Every structure is written in structure tokens, then in C-alpha cells.
Amino acid sequence: MRSTFALSMIRAARLCACALLALPALASAGPLTGFKDSWMVMGEASELNQDWMINRALTGKDALGVGYHRWKMDDSRHRVEHTGVNYVRRVARWNRPDSQANLWFALDVGTTREIHPSGHRMADRTGWMPMVQFDWETTRLYTLVSAATLRGKGGLQYDTYKAQAGFSFYEVNFDEWQPWLVVEAKRMPRFDDKVEVTPFLRFIHKSLYVEVGANTEGKPRVAVMKVFAF
């Protein structure tokens, strides 16, 4: 029989090793890929961000999918929307007896539209978003850092930097819900010079995770991710 720790590490690899909840430097942290031939559906919604994605794991290291992302400046009509096709690659994984670390690369290519505070809408442009992410976790601790950039013609340039750290309240068996407390610090220089800090609760159960929280200004955020095997 597999040990509780081994089962927890499998879950961490699938569910906490980090996602694209969309592109997770652009969304909350979830698995970037599922296991081979699985489908993953992810969504995040807040007042300033929306990220929605579905992908299919081609191998245990690669996934291909489509997604929609929207970023909005606080108290402004300035927003950016991007719809595209994305590819995710787990570049490296380091397994230790009591921990696991992962390095991820992702690239999203599609159509980007930009609406300025005046309400003027720029012509749709081809945009591309490379992203690099590193995470480390045990059955009780979790950390993540990521950097992503949206680029396109006409000087299109939006960067996102993010760090997360958290802990699980207690260890559980594989078929039980496990609650985590995570704090995220995120900065998007073109939208706001401030660092957005968001504490949230993450609940993981097998191939499902749910996140609920609010940033330090009281603005709520909800995220859901589910892996399907057919």
C-alpha cells in the first residue's frame, strides 16, 4: 500500500507543482499540467483579473491548451484582454525524500486587445506571453516565484511578477480535503506601482482545488481547478 506521504507527493505533483490557472504568473498557482492524456480546466475571477483556460496533457511534461485573460487597472477603464493558444513544458523536476521542486516554461500566442482609459480601443494585435515559474513544496510547506511578460507589435508590453508562500494546517490522506493558507505578492508595473498582497485559503481534494481570499484592500478572488481523466 502506498504511504500517506507518497500519495501526498503525487497530489502535490499534480495539483501544487503549479499551473497554468491560465498562465499562472497571470493567475493563481495551480498545476501547470496534469498526468498524461488528462484534461485540466481552470478559472480565476477577481475585480482586476480574469483567467480561464482548458488544456490537455500530451505527456507527463507537456500540455497544450487555449485560454482567455483580462487585466484591468484599478479605478480605470484601462484594460487588456488576450485570447490564445498556450504550450506548457515542465523543464525540470527535483525529487527529494521529503520535498519536490519544479521548473516550468509556458508560451501563449494569440490576439491581444487594449482599451485605454479614454475608452479608445486599439486595433487587435498578435501578442505572445512567455512565462517562467519555479515552485518548491512538501506535504506541509509551499513556495512559488514566477515572471511573465505580454509582448506585441506597437510597443505592447505588460509584465507580471509573483511570489507565493504558504503552509498546510495538517497532513491528510489522499482521499481527504487538505486546507492551506497561502499569501501572494504580485506586481504589474504598467497597471499599478503597488504590490498587491492577497492572503487566501486553498482547499485540495484529489484532482480538485478551490481558492478563496481577498487582497489587503478587501477585493475578493476565487479560483477553481479540476483535472479530468477520460
CATH code, domain carrying 205:
2.40.160.40
DSSP string, 15-37: IIS-B-SSSTTSS---BS--STT
Ramachandran quadrant class, 189 (left: phi over 0; alpha: psi -120 to 50; beta: rest): alpha
* 175, pLDDT greater than 60: yes
Domain range spanning residue 172? Answer: 4-228
pLDDT the model gives residue 186: 93
Confidence (pTM): 0.81
pLDDT at residue 13 tops 60:
no
Q: Which three cell numbers stand for residue 105?
A: 516554461
- Count of CB atoms situated within 10 Å of the CB of 47: 12
Contact between 182 and 170 (Cβ < 8 Å): no
The secondary structure element, H or E, covering residue 6 is helix 4-11
| pLDDT for residue 121 is more than 80 | no
How many independent structural domains does the chain possess? Answer: 1
Q: What is the pLDDT of residues 196-217, one digit of tens each?
A: 999 999 999 988 989 999 999 9
pLDDT tens track for 131-170: 999 999 998 999 999 999 999 887 888 899 999 999 999 8
CB atoms closer than 10 angstroms to residue 148? 23
